[in-house]
Structure 1
């Protein structure tokens, strides 16, 4: 190689480095899509837990669980309902504690700041909540339906009570 070819070779070497960096930059669009999805999932999960999950727990504990217990027909049934109510309430508190431990990290993810979420606890929350809801669906709610279904007034009272809890409190301020 002659002395005269050296400047051209330098440009060529420079381009080789540029191509490597362009290849790296070319990976970015594929990485941004999952990052954006993570932000969206975190944001929607934060809204959902704030607006739905905690309210759902309150509805069960303040309305459903007492109604089922009050309508139980005998001591054995009351004991079964009490045990189930206790279990489900304890699970609510555990799930809420777990959520609160994850919430600040999820807020950061919603803002595009990654790395502060305990993924093991996040998986634990998802798995525990699925098991909790499955127990309610397969065991508790059929029992509640059986117990409250014996008397239509009990089911109607529960429905009215839930309806009243979810009304806008300011809508009734003129009547109070």
Structure 2
């Protein structure tokens, strides 16, 4: 028998059937969105954390590129010119006849050819290095860079181990020859006064 209220309407008490089962995956969707947003922000902040180091690397790249441009313009080309205009001719003039002269001639031919090879390799790299010095985004060929460094290292090693010791022996026989070379190099690098002919 149903209970009735004072008004005579059926009495409705508390529900005795349990509510629909709770679905955690459905009700927490907004929170999952916040969590995913955090992950995205954190991943980008972790990348941002690397920015100072990348800036330092970029600054170092610009410095090295600028220094290398100056190196070739003011040192490498000038060094090659000094050798070809002053050193090589002086040693060739002072070399003894026969085998010694032939040896010097062969070395001079080799060293001069290597100068041209190194300069040609640099000419291909120079535009890209200029771009790096200006912080432009370019692809610098690592293989070409390594080949240039290796070529110059081999060139310098041969000159240091074989040609320069021989040149010292040849020019050292007559102190005047060594002095003449020193004077030629000095005059070559001494700025001339205005109006000098």
Q: TM-score, normalised by structure 2?
A: 0.81
Contact 1:57 1:92 in 2 (8 A): yes
- Report the Cα distance in structure 2 between the residues aligned to 1:118 and 1:12, rounded to whole angstroms: 43
Contact 1:108 1:116 in 2 (8 A): no
How well do the aligned residues superpose, as a CA RMSD in angstroms?
1.9
The gaps in structure 1 that reach 5 residues or longer are none
Which residue is equivalent to 2:113? 90
How much does 1:57 deviate? 0.2
Which residue is equivalent to 1:31? 54
How much does 1:11 deviate? 3.4
How much does 1:4 deviate? 8.3
For 1:72-117, what per-residue CA distance to the aligned partner results, in whole angstroms no more than 9, with x for missing partners?
A: 1222111111110000000000000000100000011111124332
Which of the numbers 68, 80, 89 marks the counterpart of 2:103?
80
How much does 1:14 deviate? 1.9
Does 2:81 correspond to 1:58?
A: yes
- Report the Cα distance in structure 1 between the residues aligned to 2:196 and 2:120, rounded to whole angstroms: 38
> What is the aligned residue count?
174
Which residue is equivalent to 2:90? 67
The gaps in structure 2 that reach 5 residues or longer are 1-23
Which of the numbers 49, 58, 77 marks the counterpart of 2:72?
49
Which of the numbers 146, 151, 154 marks the counterpart of 1:131?
154
Does 2:43 correspond to 1:14?
A: no
Q: Tell which structure's C-alpha radius of gyration is larger.
A: 2
Q: Which has the higher helix share?
A: 1
- Report the Cα distance in structure 1 between the residues aligned to 2:126 and 2:104, rounded to whole angstroms: 32
